[in-house]
A and B are shown apart, each in its own frame.
Chain A
Amino acid sequence: MNILVCISSVPDTTSKINFTENNTKFDANGIQFVINPYDEFGLTKAMMLKESTGGKVTIITVGDTTVEAVMRKALAIGADQAVRVNMNATDSFSTATEISNYITQNSFDLIIAGRESTDYNGGAVGGMIAEMTDLPFVNACIGLEVEGESAKLIREIDGGKEMISSSLPMVIGGQKGLVQESELRIPNMRGIMQSRTKPLQVIEPSSNTKNTSSVNFENPEAKGSCRMVDASNVSELVDLLHNEAKII
């Protein structure tokens, strides 16, 4: 199988998020970047599919040179080759346009994106790619089995799950469940050594038409201080929730 995994480079989940330039830009100073957690499940799934059916795993990332560290990590985990589109990914449409162009010029049996990225949380790139390439799309995918030219999938729906069959090629928006947390692969020493010589191709963007723009950012309001209630006086808590917060 020829599989494309779309990878976002995002701030480590423990990061405190700050902004600079009058709150218009994310402040990357001191931030450790990681593979978007949703994409990690897709990458491991791609590795497993490759091992059972043969083929190749390509990763694609839209971003400037700073995303290459995360791309090398994906190569160290086991992807065969990497492609970077040399453009800042700040808008779903332009990001999806570039990835779709690459898909159209090459041929893939399966395209795996994350359900969303943990930075801008657009959750739209996978669906847009599917539309641009005229392929079936299953979002919030928590189960995938490939049998020849077709796939059996499970998608999360609010309060349950739905079983789906599809022909390949197709696009999925992946998350935990695609593989389990305990199955996630981490780079080993051999992988890290090999990743340095694996191909990382840089291509220039075709258009960079942005449908949306960011105006500015703010941090959510900080909470006031916490009102402590004694463990032996639980009725006081219920009273506060009922009469002060008026919530129960």
Chain B
Amino acid sequence: MSVLVYTESWNGIFRKSSFETVSYASETAKVLGTDVIAVSLEDVSDDELNKLGNYGATKVISVPNINKGDSQSAAKVFLDLASDSSVIICSNTYTSKMIAPRLSVKMRAALLTNVISVSEGSDIQIKRKSFSTKAIETAKSNTEKTILCIAPNSFGLIETGGSCTIEKIDFSESGSLSFDGQETASGKISISEAEIVVSGGRGLKGPENWGMIEELADVLGAATACSKPVSDIGWRPHSEHVGQTGITVTSDLYIAIGISGAIQHLAGVNSSKVMVVINTDPEAPFFKAADYGIVGDAFEVVPHLIEEIKKLKN
């Protein structure tokens, strides 16, 4: 009966989105009148696993010797653990979307991704982002069991002050992929989870001018991002491209500098709560979608902005 939630970890650490899925699972469990069991793959310390209790997990099942990219093994583990569960929850990450589709076929469970609301009843019906966030779809499950992938930053954290028990499971099988190592940009804040995102466009004239974008992001504790043309020309890596065909931003604050605001860009960022636009062109379409705007030269405005924020933070 329990709601099962996959809490994804990165090098042994949970991120905000992991806790967010547990909070979401807790709200769902309340509706269904049951409890929450979290499942963790890869090696995660007991101290870290215990943090899940604070968001409503009563039990954590840790499966340390599975690489989370091994979706064949991960789906098998979840199939075993989910035999009594009608709802399984995970975050809408690339990794979860390798595991969840497999599990949905194995379990004959409906799979709903990009989810932004909790079902109000036990017949699962939720809202989800659709048409690259140009629309919100209400969708429902037609099956007894349902898997939900929750869009990061769309639900929020609810601390319960609770605690959890930990159970370890040994799983020795492995799937057919072999993993040859990772490269991670250490210390960088992930765009899809960031509370504040500072984004630059072609108005910045060249990659050598990104220093002030990074400095602004630094003083705000923000992630850096860029528009599609900027990543296409190679000024910034593709992993920073936000918009309809890049990463979707759902931050509390999105600051767009030198970005005109084409419909494809807006589609990927307009679920941010507050948008600030700095652009030399008063006719830039982005101003119509923004909350706050400055018509001005980024090379003059941004250094001032950094100074003012530093003053505020001190």
Contact surface of A with B, Cβ cutoff 8 Å = 11, 13-17, 19, 26, 37-38, 92-93, 96, 115, 118-128, 130-132, 136-140, 142, 152, 155-167, 173, 176-177, 181-182, 210-220, 223-224, 226-231, 234-235, 237-238, 240-242, 245, 247-248
Contact (Cβ within 8 A) A241 B138: no
Give every chain B residue within 8 A of A218 (Cβ-Cβ): 135-136, 138
> With a CB–CB cut-off of 8 A, which chain A residues contact B295?
228, 231
Contact B184 A234 (CB under 8 A): no
**Closest chain A CB from B244 CB (angstroms):** 5
Task: Give the distance to chain B from A91, nearest Cβ to Cβ, in Å.
Answer: 9
Known: A38-B245, A228-B294, A248-B312. A131 touches B75 (CB 8 A): yes
Q: Is the CB of B72 within 8 A of A136?
A: yes
By a CB distance below 8 angstroms, the chain A residues around B137 are: 120, 214-217
Report the bound CA distance from A212 to B94 in whole Å.
21
Interface residue count for B (Cβ, 8 Å)? 97
- Proximity string of chain B (179-213) to chain A, C-beta cutoff 8 Å, 1 when within and 0 when not: 11111110010101100100000000000000000
How long is the Cα–Cα vector from A218 to B130 in the complex, in angstroms? 10
Given A137-B98, A156-B239, A238-B312, A227 contacting B138 (CB threshold 8 A): no
CB distance from B75 to the nearest CB of A (A): 7
| B93 and A158 contact, CB distance less than 8 A | yes
Q: How far is the CA of A122 from the CA of B151 in the complex (A)?
A: 12
Segment with Cβ contacts to A, from B36-44, B58-66, B110-118, B158-166: B110-118
Would you mind naming 29 contact pairs between A and B with Cβ atoms under 8 Å apart? A13-B244, A14-B262, A14-B264, A17-B135, A37-B245, A96-B101, A96-B105, A118-B132, A123-B113, A127-B99, A132-B105, A162-B183, A163-B181, A163-B182, A166-B178, A173-B97, A210-B142, A211-B109, A213-B142, A215-B140, A216-B138, A217-B136, A217-B138, A220-B271, A226-B288, A226-B290, A226-B292, A238-B311, A248-B220
Complexed CA–CA distance, A110 and B60 (Å): 38
Q: How far is the CB of A147 from chain B (nearest CB, A)?
A: 14
Among A92, A182, A215, A217, point to the contact of B125 (Cβ < 8 A): A215
Partner of B94, one of A120, A157, A164, A211: A157
Report A173 CB to chain B, min CB distance, Å. Answer: 8
Identify the closest chain A residue to B275 (Cβ).
A223
Answer whether residue B157 sits at the interface, using C-beta atoms and an 8 A cutoff: no
> Do the beta carbons of A163 and B276 come within 8 Å of each other?
no
Bound-state CA distance A122–B100 (Å) is 11
* Residues of B contacting A: mostly: mixed
A93→B185 CA distance, assembly (Å):
35
Partner of B264, one of A13, A164, A241: A13
Shortest distance from the beta carbon of A145 to any chain B beta carbon, whole Å: 12
B residues in contact (CB < 8 Å) with A: 10, 15, 69, 71-72, 75, 92-95, 97-102, 104-106, 108-114, 125, 129-143, 175-185, 188, 190, 192-193, 196, 220, 232, 238-239, 241, 244-245, 252-253, 262-264, 267, 270-271, 273-277, 287-297, 300-301, 304-305, 308-309, 311-312
What are the residues of chain A within 8 A of B179 when measuring CB–CB? 162-164
A116 to B130 alpha-carbon distance, docked (Å): 11
The chain B residue with its CB closest to the CB of A100 is B105
Report Cα–Cα, A38/B69, bound state, in Å: 21
Q: What secondary structure prevails in chain A residues at the interface with B?
A: mixed
B208 to A: closest C-beta gap in Å: 21
Q: How far is the CB of B141 from chain A (nearest CB, A)?
A: 6
Closest to A162 in B: B182
| A residues near B93, Cβ cutoff 8 Å | 158
| A131 and B292 within 8 A (CB) | no
* Complex Cα–Cα for A236 and B139 (A): 43
Which residues from chain B contact A217 at a C-beta distance below 8 Å? 130, 135-138
Q: Which one of A118, A228, A241 has the highest number of Cβ atoms from chain B below 10 Å of its Cβ? A: A241
- Chain B nearest Cβ from A87, distance in angstroms: 16
Residues on B with C-beta less than 8 A from A138 are 69, 98, 177
Q: Which residues of A contact B183 (CB under 8 A)?
A: 160-163
Q: Are A162 and B289 in contact (CB under 8 A)?
A: no
- Is the pair A219, B135 in contact by a Cβ cutoff of 8 Å? yes
Using Cβ atoms and an 8 Å threshold, which residues of chain A touch B296?
231
Query: Chain A residues near B304 (CB, 8 Å)?
Result: 234
Least Cβ–Cβ distance between A85 and chain B, in angstroms? 18
A128 touches B104 (CB 8 A): yes
Known: A136-B72, A215-B140, A223-B291. A159 touches B10 (CB 8 A): yes
Q: Is the CB of A241 within 8 A of B140?
A: no
Check A159–B188 contact: CB distance below 8 A. Answer: yes
